[in-house]
Structure 1
Amino acid sequence: MPLTDTAVRGAKPADKPQKLFDGNGLFLYVAPSGTKSWRLKYRFQGREKLLTLGTYPQLSLKEAREACAAAKKQLGGGIDPSVQKKVIARAWENTFEAIAREWHENKKSAWTERYAGDMLERIASNIFPYLGNRPINEITPPELLSVLRKIEARGAFYQANRLRESCSLVFRYAIATGRAERDTAADLRGALKSHVTTSRAAITEPEEVGGLLRAIDGYTGHFVTKCGLQLLALTFLRPGEVRLGEWSEIDLDEKLWRIPAKRMKMRLDHLVPLSAQACAVLEELRELTGRGRLMFPGLRAKERPISDATFIAALRRMGFEKDEMCAHGFRSMASTILNEQGYPADAIEKQLAHNPRNKIRGIYNRAEYLPERRKMMQDWADYLEKLRNS
């Protein structure tokens, strides 16, 4: 008798594998582990063969019968369905989507979970619908450009350029694994509209810097926010690196802030020399938040940090407009002034945690320029103190 949905759903595993036949060679294989799979027994050129159609419940009884009928049709045309399945699988392995997913799987361990998810989502939603099923070695520059133009048409020029770069990485991976001969995306350099970047607003004139520091000293909002602004000025750190800080990262005896790679933009551990002034701010802050894990906990939920808008809101509250100063502007302020004062560019870049020119060297020498940076950071703090008091 043919199987029913109820019989398939209710099939229980036993000590030995079970076969529940439906007809036309189709049967449900129930493994001792409980896994259920649809299989087709057939003969081709006088030999008995077996084809796995899929697993239940992913493949329903109705769908399994349809797959069985399709296989029988192939047999009627002199085609071995097992061989055809392998041909289709090999063809899929060479498509842009299959290779992109494989590339992503190999790379994602080096990324944060959020970045990895965003990367795949961008490619899946913008590229796969148009080129996902195409053999990667057959995709031409005009084809890829046509897809990227659709993104440009939305005004998303930055995203279009980023996706071209991501596609280039996929093509290069395909070349390395023997499934493509050239990087099609590389041929599109200069073909897309440029994304016009605007510099982050920053105060760099010494007199105005002094006014900013005095405004922070007189800030009447939350004390934790005030300390955060002071540390932004003293450390060159990104706002997110400050507000997500944990007390376990701070060593006041050694005057160091050790930030783990997982919290850094470049995914490298970062050592931040602390000036005497920075240590004084941290000592005050520790009296208020030192019993918890976070240095900058939120007002309502102590296990969650202050929001990413906190520092910006504080600057606006003090009267600094968005085209005048932003939270990231403290980095530009320090970089501009210290470069003008003749401090070593490499030490400044290292303190800013920018990607090192020699990445391998950067990975194995996290303390690079530490003596120079210790001196520079104390000089910087003394300079800010002088401006504030002038």
Structure 2
Amino acid sequence: MPLTDTAIRNAKPAEKPVRMFDAGGLYLEISPAGGKLWRLKYRFGGKEKRLALGAYPEVGLKEARGKRDDARKLLAADIDPGEHRKAQKEAKLERASNSFEIVAREFFSKNRATWAASHHNKIILRFEKNVFPWIGDRPIAEISAPEILTILRRIESRGAVETAHRTRENIGQVMRYAIATGRAERDPAADLKGALAPIKREHFASITDPAKVGELLRALDAFQGTFIVKSALLLAPLLFVRPGELRKAEWSGFDLGKAEWHYLVTKTKTEQVVPLSSQAVDILKELQPLTGHGQYVFPGRDPQKPMSEAAVNAALRRMGYDTKTEITGHGFRAMARTILHEELHQKPEVIEHQLAHKVPDALGSAYNRTKFLKERRAMMQLWSDYLDKLKAGAEVIRLHPAA
């Protein structure tokens, strides 16, 4: 006879497993310990098989019968319910292992060695805040352009337009990695070009008027902070490298005898050569007795770490400069690029190579660290001599090339 809820509730365990049968092969098995499990007995391919349907009372009589009926439909279609369940479980595991977050973290991990730590951490944080909560557990192959656009619009709506653009680029990188590893067929982020508001580029604050540059240099000379920070401030306009590269400079990269500094460009992972003017060498020689025994030229409070990334800008603010509208540590690059070209008439390609920018040449090379080295060496000395004249208050004579 068909089972009833009352009969199931009142059933007691025995020394051996007890089976209470319903219709269609469904039965409840009661273990000696009192556990009650639903099972389905069926035949497939001439063999008797059993399928677990869950435990009572979590799975009630009505639900157990529904599972039985589903299994019988599969049998009618010549499908083994047990194998079908196994295939579903494997598909679910595969979907979970190919979720967007899993693939993204795998991609980030593989690139960690070639990315700057700050860049890697910034992207991870960006995804954890803006992406993973919404599509992290979605199978990467099923993610659509509208889903990604919803995420980007959410970022854009809070005014972070540039972050929205960078997030689209990062999602595209993950999608292309998924394609390369056989876990997706296309990149839906590519369909969103032009879907976001354009970025309003704001250049780093900089001083490019020679007279005002002279004022700034005199202020740097008069800085009353620590000797290490002051040395970094004095070298910043002479070398005009990226602020992060200056503060992380290591003594092992300097050859003061050859007047050269070799370091790895963080953006391109290529080696850069900075010819050192006599003024730059003098500053470094004066600093060397203080920090030359350690790794970093400009160590922070912890000698094992470089000085804070905020140190130079904080020093500029102490001198009364607004780092949002007047000058930043990064602004020394724009200062050099502008004045070297407009006032000292240096070749743009020589300046760009000294800035460690990618400048494709006729051979297709994106960057050559030794190219124009002789010209760059002369330019760096010319630049330092020019800054000395500005600092001394020499009259600035603007030179304009003939038409």
For normalisation by structure 1, the TM-score amounts to 0.74
In structure 1, C-alpha distance between the alignment counterparts of 2:317 and 2:284, rounded to whole Å: 24
- Aligned counterpart in structure 2 of residue 83 of structure 1, from 74, 84, 87: 87
Aligned to 1:280: 282
Contact conserved, 2:254 with 2:261, CA < 8 A, in 1?
yes
Aligned to 1:106: 110
Q: State how 1:283-294 maps to structure 2 within 5 Å.
A: 283-294=285-296
Q: Secondary structure at 2:351's aligned position in 1? A: helix
Aligned to 1:168: 172
Give ranges in structure 1 of 5+ residues lacking alignment.
1-21, 25-42, 50-61
Deviations 1:331-354 (A, max 9, x none): 110011112133222221221122
User: How far did 1:177 drift?
Assistant: 3.8
Size of the aligned set, in residue pairs, is 329
Q: State how 1:1-390 maps to structure 2 within 5 Å.
A: 46=47, 77=71, 78-80=81-83, 81-92=85-96, 94-261=98-265, 264-298=266-300, 300-322=301-323, 323-340=325-342, 341-357=344-360, 361-362=365-366, 365-389=368-392, 390=394
The alpha-carbon distance between structure 1 residues 281 and 128, as it changes in their structure 2 partners (threshold 3 A), is same
Q: Secondary structure at 1:324's aligned position in 2? A: coil
User: How far did 1:188 drift?
Assistant: 1.3
Deviations 1:80-128 (A, max 9, x none): 2443332223334554334333433433332134432432332243223
The alpha-carbon distance between structure 1 residues 134 and 350, as it changes in their structure 2 partners (threshold 3 A), is same
Amino acid at match of 1:291: H
User: How far did 1:362 drift?
Assistant: 4.7
The alpha-carbon distance between structure 1 residues 93 and 355, as it changes in their structure 2 partners (threshold 3 A), is farther
Contact conserved, 2:206 with 2:328, CA < 8 A, in 1?
yes
In structure 2, C-alpha distance between the alignment counterparts of 1:336 and 1:197, rounded to whole Å: 18
- Tell which deviates more after alignment, 143-152 or 316-325: 316-325
In structure 2, C-alpha distance between the alignment counterparts of 1:155 and 1:219, rounded to whole Å: 37
In structure 1, C-alpha distance between the alignment counterparts of 2:287 and 2:123, rounded to whole Å: 37
In structure 1, C-alpha distance between the alignment counterparts of 2:108 and 2:305, rounded to whole Å: 30
Deviations 1:254-293 (A, max 9, x none): 11111135xx233222211101111111111113322333
**Structure 1 vs Structure 2 CA RMSD:** 3.4
User: How far did 1:179 drift?
Assistant: 4.2
The alpha-carbon distance between structure 1 residues 44 and 147, as it changes in their structure 2 partners (threshold 3 A), is farther
For normalisation by structure 2, the TM-score amounts to 0.71
Q: Secondary structure at 2:110's aligned position in 1? A: helix
Identity %, equivalent residues: 45
Deviations 1:291-337 (A, max 9, x none): 33322233x44333332222222222323233222221111100111
Contact conserved, 2:353 with 2:369, CA < 8 A, in 1?
no
Contact conserved, 1:289 with 1:297, CA < 8 A, in 2?
yes
In structure 2, C-alpha distance between the alignment counterparts of 1:121 and 1:320, rounded to whole Å: 31
Aligned to 2:77: none
The alpha-carbon distance between structure 1 residues 129 and 225, as it changes in their structure 2 partners (threshold 3 A), is closer
In structure 1, C-alpha distance between the alignment counterparts of 2:156 and 2:90, rounded to whole Å: 39
The alpha-carbon distance between structure 1 residues 250 and 82, as it changes in their structure 2 partners (threshold 3 A), is same
Q: Which has the larger radius of gyration?
A: 2
In structure 2, C-alpha distance between the alignment counterparts of 1:133 and 1:229, rounded to whole Å: 47
Aligned to 2:23: none
Contact conserved, 1:362 with 1:368, CA < 8 A, in 2?
no
- Tell which deviates more after alignment, 96-105 or 348-357: 96-105
Deviations 1:186-231 (A, max 9, x none): 2211211233332211111111111211222222332222211111
Contact conserved, 1:224 with 1:296, CA < 8 A, in 2?
yes
In structure 1, C-alpha distance between the alignment counterparts of 2:378 and 2:34, rounded to whole Å: 83
Amino acid at match of 1:337: I
- Tell which deviates more after alignment, 81-90 or 144-153: 81-90
In structure 2, C-alpha distance between the alignment counterparts of 1:210 and 1:114, rounded to whole Å: 34
User: How far did 1:164 drift?
Assistant: 0.8
The alpha-carbon distance between structure 1 residues 48 and 368, as it changes in their structure 2 partners (threshold 3 A), is farther
Amino acid at match of 1:381: S
